[in-house]
Amino acid sequence: MTMVPLEIFQTILRHLDRLLVYLKIRPIGLRLPKSASRIFETRNHDVVLPTSIMRPLHEFQREALALFSEPCNIQRMSHMSACLNTEYVKKLKRGTECMLPSFCHTLPTGQEEGTFIALDMGGSTFRVALVALSTRVADNDGMNIKHITVNKINESIRRLPARQFFAWMAGKIQDMLHQCKDGQISQDETISIGLAWSFPIEQTSHQGGTVQPMGKGFKAHEGVIGQDLGNLLEVACRERGLEVQVNAIVNDSSATLLSQAYKDPATTMSLILGTGTNAAIYLPVKHLGEDKFGMRDPSWFEQAEKVIINTEVSMFGKGILPTTRWDEELNRAHSAPDFQPLEYMTTGRYLGELLRLVIAEAVGTCQMFGGLMPDNISGRYTLDTALLAAIEEDTTMGCISSAERIQKEFGLLSLPTPAEMTFLRTVVEAISHRAAAYIATAIHALWSLKHGGPHEATSKTSVAANGSVMLMYPGFRTRCQRYVADMIAAAHSSKPSRSNHEVLIQPTHEATILGAAVAVAIADAT
Ligand code: GLC
């Protein structure tokens, strides 16, 4: 093919443009006429550089590994923990977005009883269950899910406006009630409900709380911020002829804490890491500023010595937890930039997206996958975090099992090369190890709120762990546990009084839905 002089000139400019990207200088962004573009553009309109000026994949792999791993050493993590701790203390004193006190001032005793409808509105499922609590005895935790329905939340449900969203919830509650066997639920009475809500909420009572911006890609808060959540759901149910009364609302982090405390009284913290992340902590009321409690009856303060706090810990970390250029890209393209810095670097919703952004750069600058971004992962949030877990779990020779899965999921014509597999595995491990390090740092900083004094006694804290990444991602919980222990040990070398402190991150089972039931039982008893 012969090129006219103008096309040759444009081609040189295009190469220059890509070279600037490679050298990390802002490209000049030249647009080519269609005819010239065809020669150099890939399917996704990325320009392909001649192989001679491509960056070797192993070199990029080294850089990515260094960027993700650099902050993950105990010394730096301990420093970050101290900075986070300072931020936590500030937000415990004032502000309405995070460090939100619930109305739960006692932990369950394990003696609460009753049968309840429990709802768990999570990031990717809405579950409706009939739960029986029958008191804890030696070999039985006394919690029983008698019936449960699991409803997937897809992107279209995430985007529903408030009215349709609550109508959808009401429909699913009705479906579950229809499925319950005769006699399990009385048809004549108003049905008492406990709701675990995986989004921020400003509690106004045990039963009530006002809607706050939801995150996780949901739209249902738009137009109803500040309205009562329980009321919105009750009205939606009534419109379907269903008389329900929301008798307890708790954030999913508090629900997790409540259900595990029902089983194990040493539980005073919880940690969620699934689609989103959060933690709850049981702290003395005096740690919080007066304004944090809103309008509460003075009798509440007379009874309350400690209180369960929904920390919304996902919102912390900006300016403290180091970011890579891929984090920054993700944040820039996010519908709520900077809203949840810790979450954007650690949770199931984002780990896959981070890997996708690294792959996109490798495709563009290192000829990964022949320089073509696979169509199946060319859109945002199209790479599932479950794939990262599968890659890390793979013990087959040459990671053949995950190579085959990648070929299928990405829609590649051939298997990824061994060098590409090594690259992917290295980056995946770097992303997940950093996530574990940041989560451990956030937990250590929270735990330090309980153990700030110089002379405190020996202690054992159980942290109830929940969420798909925490419970299912290979090695994740163990890594977090080790990081927290190492941070405590490192502090011990300078402060001998901390030597006997132990933090145990305990896996839970069905904690959110069970916790919603425990919350109703506690509310009924107060
Ligand atoms: C998000 C929400 C928070 C929730 C967490 C875990 O960070 O803001 O309320 O607890 O996800 O589901």
Pocket (CB within 6 angstroms of ligand 1): 123, 198-200, 215, 251-253, 272, 276-278, 312, 314, 340, 343
- 97-to-200, 214, 395, 427, 486 alpha-carbon distances in Å: 8, 11, 43, 33, 31
Consecutive 10-residue averages of pLDDT for the chain (526 residues): 47 46 38 33 47 84 98 98 98 95 94 94 94 91 95 95 97 92 66 93 90 91 96 96 94 97 94 96 96 91 96 98 98 95 97 98 97 97 97 94 98 97 98 98 96 62 96 98 95 65 94 96 80
What's the 78 CA to ligand 1 centre distance in angstroms?
A: 24
Which of 474, 476, 479, 482 shows the shortest CA–CA distance to 395?
474
Residue owning tokens 């839905």: 513
What's the 195 CA to ligand 1 centre distance in angstroms?
A: 14
Q: Of all atoms in ligand 1, which is nearest to the CA of residue 122?
A: 12
250, 252, 258, best to mutate for ligand 1 pocket (most atoms within 8 Å of CB): 252
Tell me the two tokens of residue 211.
């809607």
3-state DSSP assignment of residue 412: coil
- Contact between 513 and 145 (Cβ < 8 Å): yes
Nearest CA to ligand 1 atom 4: 198
What whole-number percentage of the chain has pLDDT above 70? 86
> CA-to-CA distance for 299 and 33, rounded, in angstroms?
74
pLDDT of residue 484: 97
pLDDT of residue 375: 97
What's the 214 CA to ligand 1 centre distance in angstroms?
A: 8
Beta-strand runs (E) in 252-348: 267-273, 277-284, 306-310
CB neighbours of residue 297 within 10 Å: 9
Q: Is residue 191 part of a domain?
A: yes
Q: Is residue 123 part of a domain?
A: yes
Sign of CA dihedral 469, 472, 475, 481: positive
Q: Of all atoms in ligand 1, which is nearest to the CA of residue 216?
A: 1
What single-letter DSSP state applies at residue 438? H
> CA-to-CA distance for 110 and 262, rounded, in angstroms?
4
What's the 315 CA to ligand 1 centre distance in angstroms?
A: 10
Tell me the two tokens of residue 363.
């495709």
Determine the longest span between alpha carbons in the chain, in angstroms. 88
What's the 76 CA to ligand 1 centre distance in angstroms?
A: 26
> CA-to-CA distance for 434 and 428, rounded, in angstroms?
10
> CA-to-CA distance for 461 and 520, rounded, in angstroms?
25
pLDDT of residue 183: 61
Q: Is residue 246 part of a domain?
A: yes
Which of 503, 500, 370, 502 shows the shortest CA–CA distance to 439?
503
- Contact between 339 and 213 (Cβ < 8 Å): yes
- Contact between 300 and 106 (Cβ < 8 Å): no
pLDDT of residue 271: 98
Domain that holds residue 167: 104-250
Q: Domain holding 131: CATH number?
A: 3.30.420.40
Q: Is residue 207 part of a domain?
A: yes
pLDDT of residue 501: 84
What's the 245 CA to ligand 1 centre distance in angstroms?
A: 24
Nearest CA to ligand 1 atom 3: 199
- Contact between 411 and 43 (Cβ < 8 Å): no
Q: Is residue 454 part of a domain?
A: no
- Contact between 71 and 434 (Cβ < 8 Å): yes
Number of domains in the chain: 1
Q: What residues are paired with 137 via a beta bridge?
A: 140
Q: Of all atoms in ligand 1, which is nearest to the CA of residue 215?
A: 8
- Contact between 315 and 436 (Cβ < 8 Å): no
pLDDT of residue 60: 98
pLDDT of residue 493: 74
Q: Is residue 208 part of a domain?
A: yes
What single-letter DSSP state applies at residue 285? G
Nearest CA to ligand 1 atom 9: 199
Alpha helices for 112-228 (secondary structure H):
155-158, 162-179
Q: Is residue 269 part of a domain?
A: no
Q: What Rg value do the Cα atoms of the chain yield, rounded?
A: 26
The CA angle 112-115-119, to the nearest 5 degrees, is 100
Nearest CA to ligand 1 atom 11: 276
3-state DSSP assignment of residue 99: coil
253, 310, 315, 340, best to mutate for ligand 1 pocket (most atoms within 8 Å of CB): 253
pLDDT of residue 53: 66
DSSP characters over 126-148? EEEEEEEEE--BTTB--EEEEEE
Tell me the two tokens of residue 281.
């902590």
Q: Is residue 506 part of a domain?
A: no
Can you list the pairs that 68-71 forms with residues at least 24 positions away whose Cβ atoms lie under 8 Å?
68/324, 68/427, 68/430, 68/431, 68/433, 68/434, 69/430, 69/433, 69/434, 70/322, 71/321, 71/322, 71/434, 71/437
> CA-to-CA distance for 395 and 474, rounded, in angstroms?
12
